[in-house]
Structure 1
């Protein structure tokens, strides 16, 4: 195989970003650019190190906005990756800590659960192997209220979508 083909394959496999025009995987970007210095999981970082100040995400200690950190090149994220991280951090914050409080004890992280067991098929989140509709399952699982079941379905669907878990 020619050297340029090997280099191209290595670059593609080693990158958290996807093909041009697609949004980078936010979990992969976090794992590659942030986790070596911060918490291994973005959710733990967001809830442990960030606060919302005047509607903007900022560092707990410094008060500096996350956007300012990322746009200055902190972590070596590209502009696309920085935008993806900021959107991801906001989504994590907006989703609350319900998964950590009600689900993590049995299911680990929302990311690991989704990667291993869920997929989007025909626009619906379903069990990867069972085909079971997760929206219906959440209505009777984990003692979730109807509002919590909807919120959890949205969180898990967003993760599956950003992971490209579609059939």
Structure 2
């Protein structure tokens, strides 16, 4: 397969398997431009303070109303792809239990800023941009993270680098 064929194959795979990513939608930017004016400045804080999982669905803590329903009715005036990206972002934050916010934010910037500014992904492995340390090897024990938490944090940081 030629380099050009591989390139087009990779682009088409991304388009069909990851439609939101192919559109270049940054969930952080969507939240900050459309939600932060009325809610807290960052999605991580918003999820921690306002959302929970009920019967397998992301809902408001107080209203118990599904977030997907609220956004679908026009709250935030988001497009369908933006809603999809934001719901995935909120769900991922909820699933990780705000681990970055609880353990890392004291020394590092927000996860997205830290990952995009200080880390690099090479051949699927996360490295410190300046220290050149393998993050997967470094994290267990760092910031009092146990091995499962370190693995989860690596996934969180990789996701920050894999979103546009």
Q: TM-score, normalised by structure 2?
A: 0.81
Q: Secondary structure at the match of 1:52?
A: strand
Report deviation, 1:125: 1.3
Q: What is the CA deviation profile of residues 79-118 of structure 1, one whole-angstrom value per residue up to 9, with x for unaligned ones? A: 0000000011000000112222221111132122112211
Alignment partner of 1:150 is 2:162: no
Q: Report the counterpart of residue 81 of structure 2 in structure 1.
A: 80
Q: Report the counterpart of residue 119 of structure 1 in structure 2.
A: 120
Higher RCO by CA contacts (8 Å cutoff, separation 6 or greater): 2
- Closer/same/farther in 2, CA of residues 120 and 34 from structure 1, 3 Å limit: same
Report deviation, 1:67: 0.3
Q: Secondary structure at the match of 2:58?
A: strand
Distance 1:52 1:141 in 2: 29
Distance 1:20 1:44 in 2: 23
How many residue pairs get aligned? The number is 146
Any residues of structure 2 matched to 1:84-163 within 5 Å, and which? 84-163=85-164
* Runs of 5+ unmatched residues, structure 1: 1-18
Q: Secondary structure at the match of 2:133?
A: coil
Distance 1:131 1:32 in 2: 34
Moved over 6 A (4+): none
- Closer/same/farther in 2, CA of residues 21 and 142 from structure 1, 3 Å limit: closer
Contact 2:118 2:129 in 1 (8 A): yes
Any residues of structure 2 matched to 1:21-100 within 5 Å, and which? 21-100=22-101
Distance 2:120 2:140 in 1: 18
Report deviation, 1:140: 4.1
Report deviation, 1:71: 1.1
Q: TM-score, normalised by structure 1?
A: 0.80
